[in-house]
Amino acid sequence: MANLPKKEQFPRHIGVVMDGNGRWAKKNNLRRTDGHREGAKVFRKISDYANKIGIECITFYTFSTENWRRPLEEVEILMDIFREYLLKADDHREKNEKKGYCLRFIGDLEAIPSDLRELMRNAQQEILPTTKTIVNVALNYGGWQEIQHSVKQIAHKVASGELDPDKITIEDIEKGLYTANYPDVDLIIRPSGEYRISNFLTWQSAYAELWFSNVLWPDFQTDDLDSAIIDFANRKRRFGRSE
């Protein structure tokens, strides 16, 4: 563990784009699916570490709305990896609750296979007064689609006369987001050498700090997370205000 800043300097909510699994596999002369399995191990390690150091909320971009375009065999293997993780998560549920680790899922979950949705319902935990870290898994998630989801809810309220269109607020839109009960993301981490957020937490990241690294996700270590947090703590966040 690096010499981390004071807790009040930590980002409250971190978003992580888990990128580079396929390139890691190619680099190591392995199957692409081996990269995904290794990436799943890193997800567990980083989420456990986030809980250990006291990150309030961390959201992992696990499967996007665009990932369905990948080859069918790769998608099926990804779903199998999710199943394996969820079965283990259910086994560790009591232990995780004692640590204050709360597992949640966000995204358009109705498109996920029904057996997986059942496992997700079993593994998902309630946010309790003792909750120390919320770990969000973003499945079938897209930032544009999330905003669309919120706008549709508002449109129904307007159509029913429940809401005056001239009185729609920013808060009304935020209430319809999947992350309505969580703080806005403060820091987005993307490894693998790519410099974009790829439709991840599009609304919530309006003032997020971005941290990029050339490390491929399966090689991402707790020291890398430490480096991102330290860098975040040293940045000046003005939110449009002058110096």
**pLDDT more than 70, % of the chain:** 98
Percentages helix, strand, coil for the chain, rounded to the nearest 5? 50, 15, 35
The verdict on whether 19 is a catalytic residue reads: yes
Provide the 10 A C-beta neighbour count for residue 67: 16
Give the pLDDT of residue 241. Answer: 66
**pLDDT more than 90, % of the chain:** 87
Could you give all domains of the chain from N- to C-terminal order, each with its CATH number?
A: 9-233 (3.40.1180.10)
Tell me the pLDDT band of 94, cut-offs 50, 70 and 90: confident
Give the pLDDT of residue 28. Answer: 97
**pLDDT > 90? residue 2:** no
pLDDT in tens, 103-130: 999 999 999 999 999 999 989 999 989 9
Give the pLDDT of residue 92. Answer: 79
Write down the residue that tokens 């309006």 correspond to. 206
Mean pLDDT score, 49-71: 96
Q: Which residues contact 49 (CB under 8 A, 6 or more apart)?
A: 222, 225
Q: Lowest-confidence range among 36-40, 66-70, 102-106, 121-125?
A: 121-125
What integer best gives the mean pLDDT of the chain?
94
**pLDDT > 80? residue 153:** yes
Tell me the pLDDT band of 142, cut-offs 50, 70 and 90: very high
Catalytic choice (34, 48, 67, 108): 67
Tell me the pLDDT band of 190, cut-offs 50, 70 and 90: very high
Q: Which residues contact 83 (CB under 8 A, 6 or more apart)?
A: 115, 116, 119
Q: Which of 129, 123, 131 is nearest to 101 (CA)?
A: 131
The verdict on whether 29 is a catalytic residue reads: no
Q: Lowest-confidence range among 17-31, 62-76, 85-99?
A: 85-99
Catalytic choice (19, 184, 219, 224): 19
